[in-house]
């Protein structure tokens, strides 16, 4: 019984290995695939069918109008009523099958005019028509459109998704044919990893498709276009530039003075306090000095009231007399 159990386990493992090896080959192909080369070949074989069906050749060329392009643009709309214009742009985009990504409006205050910004997504085929239709909202200025060809990225993602989908289907088949628990767990672990990678690729492809199908337009709405400043040339131009530089310098000095003024006030206050403390300390020291009492110091302890403070007899004189 033990021998038969071991034999069946070995046979099951061998069967799983054979199925894994044979699953990496295409139908009608006699070559065997192993390692990274086998994975690349499997991806190429899996991508061949959907690519050819879409009119895309494997040499990278694209037939007809099947190229995938991401279009983004920005423009400025000048109108007397910016807030009403933002609402009109949103309604125009939604009526053409698009949607609003972001929107902001600013009322006129503190001397500034009203303005607004809106970011919209419109069908790629409706970009030109949408820009032309904005002329009915206001004066369109500063139009900028940018197109990015992502056909190669789309082909690569499609091939990888197709290859991983085929691999996942084969692993599911192997799980149903697993003879032992170990084989089942190994196949299930590999299946989980490949399913996670497949979902990530599918998410990237969906995002790319959305960016291709729906173009992005950034629209700035203002009350009036910024006026271009024309400066005179020659002496008058130099005088104008010098005057402007002087005003800017004075403005900068005023700002610096405003920043330093609180610090100067605090420093002056601290200096005043220190000066007062020093004066009082000097007065106290001067008040305790003997020179301020009006009396001269005595020359010795035996000096009488009639003796002059400067008169003193040297002791050496008495010694000389004795001698």
d(CA 222, CA 151): 37
Choice among 56-65, 215-224, 241-250 with the minimum mean pLDDT? 56-65
Look at residue 300 in the predicted model and tell me its pLDDT. 47
pLDDT for the residue numbered 39: 38
Read off the pTM: 0.48
pLDDT of residue 117: 93
Cα 148–151–153 angle (5° rounding)?
Answer: 95
Give residue 287's pLDDT band: very low, low, confident or very high (50, 70, 90): confident
Question: Is 163 buried (19+), middle (13-18) or exposed (0-12) by CB count in 10 A?
Answer: buried
Nearest alpha-carbon partner for 133 in 96, 82, 185, 180: 96
DSSP class of residue 320 equals: H
Give the mean pLDDT of 32-50. 39
Q: Which string of DSSP letters, residue by residue, matches 26-84?
A: PTT------HHHHHHHHHHHHHHHHHHHTTB-TTS-B-TT---EEEEEEEEEE-S-HHH
Burial code (b: 16+ CB inside 10 Å, e: under 16) for 117-128 equals: bbebbbebebbe
List Cβ neighbours of 55 (8 Å cut-off, separation of 6 or more): 62, 63, 64, 66
Neighbours of 164 (CB within 10 A): 22
Measure Cα distances from 111 to 107, 114, 187, 248 in Å. Answer: 11, 10, 70, 21
What is the DSSP annotation of 161-190?
Answer: HHHHHHHHHHHHHHHHH--SHHHHHHHHHH
92-131 pLDDT per residue, tens = 999 989 999 999 988 877 767 888 999 999 999 999 999 9
For residues 177-194, give the mean pLDDT. 87
Taking domain 69-150, whether its CATH number is 3.30.70 is answered by yes
Nearest-angstrom CA–CA distance, 210 and 121: 10
Q: Where in the chain is the domain with CATH 3.30.70?
A: 69-150
Q: Tell me the range of 44-53, 94-103, 283-292 where mean pLDDT is highest.
A: 94-103
In the prediction, which pLDDT does 7 show?
42
Please state the separation of Cα 161 from the chain's center in Å: 31
Residues 165 and 197 sit within 8 Å (Cβ to Cβ): no
């Amino acid at each position: 019984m033990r021998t038969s159990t071991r034999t069946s386990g070995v046979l099951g493992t061998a069967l799983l290995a054979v199925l894994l090896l044979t699953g990496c080959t295409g139908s009608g192909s006699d070559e065997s695939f192993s390692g990274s080369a086998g994975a690349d070949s499997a991806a190429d074989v899996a991508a061949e069918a959907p690519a050819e069906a879409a009119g895309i050749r494997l040499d990278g060329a694209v037939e007809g109008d099947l190229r995938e392009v991401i279009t983004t643009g920005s423009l400025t709309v000048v109108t007397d009523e910016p807030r009403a214009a933002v609402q009109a742009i949103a309604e125009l985009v939604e009526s053409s099958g698009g949607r609003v990504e972001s929107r902001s409006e600013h009322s006129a205050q503190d001397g500034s005019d009203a303005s607004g910004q809106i970011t919209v997504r419109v069908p790629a085929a409706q970009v030109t028509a949408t820009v032309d239709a904005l002329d009915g909202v206001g004066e369109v200025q500063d139009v900028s459109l940018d197109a990015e060809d992502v056909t190669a990225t789309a082909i690569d993602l499609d091939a990888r998704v197709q290859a991983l989908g085929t691999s996942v289907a084969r692993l599911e088949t192997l799980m149903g044919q697993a003879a032992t628990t170990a084989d089942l767990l190994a196949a299930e672990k590999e299946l989980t990893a490949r399913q996670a990678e497949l979902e990530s690729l599918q998410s990237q492809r969906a995002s790319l498709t959305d960016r291709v199908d729906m173009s992005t337009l950034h629209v700035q709405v203002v009350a009036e276009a910024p006026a271009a400043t024309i400066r005179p040339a020659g002496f008058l131009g130099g005088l104008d530039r010098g005057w402007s530089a002087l005003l800017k310098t004075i403005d900068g000095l005023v700002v610096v003075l405003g920043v330093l003024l609180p610090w100067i006030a605090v420093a002056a206050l601290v200096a005043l306090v220190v000066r007062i403390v020093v004066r009082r300390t000097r007065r106290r020291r001067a008040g305790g000095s003997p020179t301020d009492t009006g009396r001269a110091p005595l020359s010795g302890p035996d000096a009488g009231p009639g003796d002059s403070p400067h008169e003193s007899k040297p002791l050496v004189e008495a010694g000389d007399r004795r001698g």
